[in-house]
Structure 1
């Protein structure tokens, strides 16, 4: 849905729907984290199914607790990195607003990245609570809605690129 810029003949994409999607991801992510921290103590676990638990876990690092045992510098480094990526994503959304799947992917990644930045800045760690496990393989690292949005966005991005290459 591109609109014309009154000073140019080039179409301009509407950024707001994509920022709205990112805001919805942030809202659901933060509400879920607030809820879990009010209902659980650190490390507390509730079995939901034979393959899924809710558990309150804190991650001071990146994905799969990478860098979590460092002295604290990672909080600022990962936050700065995520904010830089978020700014770049906003530029991409503005430039490519008409490419629906590409922008869905970017909006989900943007919302997820900012959801985790909020945690790092407010608490010093990311709040994780979704715990999937398979008996033969054990537990996967706990994650949250922001992480899920990032993964779904990355998957959409790959699908979009494969579709683009196959044209």
Structure 2
């Protein structure tokens, strides 16, 4: 696969990711939920950008996370270029790297820019290019919206750790960028031999 095709994948993922985030950000109040099906909801939340809403403590925690991501994306970008231009990597590998790179970059856009181009979403709809931004450069919140509470209930008491407790499967809330990263990692795991097989 050529770099041009890889870049097209990245562009399309970024386009869908950012359009969906901007739509939710400008049409939903923070915490607002719309039920599509009983097992699929659009639920607008924002987080610091780590998995499961984890935060790095301290004044510079968010800035450190954003800078780390920028370094990581640079490394992933080089991996993509090297896999195409030098190592003639398989289509599985190139698609996987392109998806991971697009997803990582999609969430970086939120972290770097959203604090300066949107106003607050608490109890109001955010405005794009607001004159009252909610944060500083590199301190934006990542927008998540896809929620699949496929099953909710109390687990049997005989199940270790979670037995007898209220439980929701699947309780993560994510975005298009997260899906791209997960899909790319999934390709590398489940198609490992094909992904790392060099083509002639």
TM bracket, shorter-chain basis: 0.7 to 0.9
1:104-140 Cα offsets, whole Å, 9 max, x none, are 1110010000100010112211000111112133251
- Higher Rg: 2
8 Å CA contact retained: 2:93, 2:196: no
- 5+ residue gaps in structure 2? 116-139, 154-166
- CA-based RMSD: 2.0
Match of 1:23?
11
TM-score (norm 1): 0.82
Instruction: Point out where structure 1 has 5 or more consecutive residues left out of the alignment.
Output: 2-13
Q: Is the Cα–Cα contact under 8 Å of residues 61 and 74 in structure 1 kept in the other structure?
A: no
Which among 71, 78, 82 is matched to residue 84 of structure 1? 71
Aligned residues: 153
Between Structure 1 and Structure 2, the one with more helix by share is 1
TM-score, with structure 2 as normaliser: 0.70
Say whether 1:39 aligns with 2:20: no
Q: 1:16: how far off?
A: 2.4
State the alpha-carbon separation in 2 of the partners of residues 42 and 18 from structure 1. 34
Alpha-carbon offset, residue 159 of structure 1: 2.4
Partner of 1:115: 106
CA distance in 2, matches of 1:44, 1:111: 27
Indicate conservation of the 8 Å contact 2:147/2:172, yes or no: yes
SS at match of 2:44: strand
